Amino acid sequence: KPPPPEEGEQRTPQPEDVEERAVVEIVTTTGDVHVVEEQSTNFTTDSAQRLIQDIMFCKQDLDLIKQKNK
């Protein structure tokens, strides 16, 4: 296990830091709650990349909505 980060230092989470079948709660501005459960027994680099890509697409959509509402 890596040593704890020094003061002011940020550490990138390692695969062993991620619990299998982690449950993530997403709360939207409308108050809707979406609970997403990881179905895979292993959190792989590929699944992490897909998750990051999904988040980026959602962020782009959110930015477009914010622009329209200005």
In the chain, how many domains are there? Answer: 1
The residue type found at 61 is: D
Q: Does residue 56 lie in a domain region? A: yes
Measured between alpha carbons, how far is 25 from 36 in angstroms, rounded to an integer?
7
Phi, psi dihedral angles at 39 (to 5 degrees) = -85, -25
Mean pLDDT of 51-65: 90
Q: Does residue 53 lie in a domain region? A: yes
> What pLDDT is stored for residue 58 in this prediction?
92
Q: Does residue 19 lie in a domain region? A: no
Q: Does residue 64 lie in a domain region? A: yes
Q: Does residue 2 lie in a domain region? A: no
pLDDT in tens, 14-52: 555 555 555 555 555 555 655 555 565 566 788 888 889
Q: Does residue 34 lie in a domain region? A: no
Domain limits at 55? 43-70
As to burial, measured by CB atoms within 10 angstroms (0-12 exposed, 13-18 middle, 19+ buried), residue 12 is exposed
Cα 22 from chain centre: 11
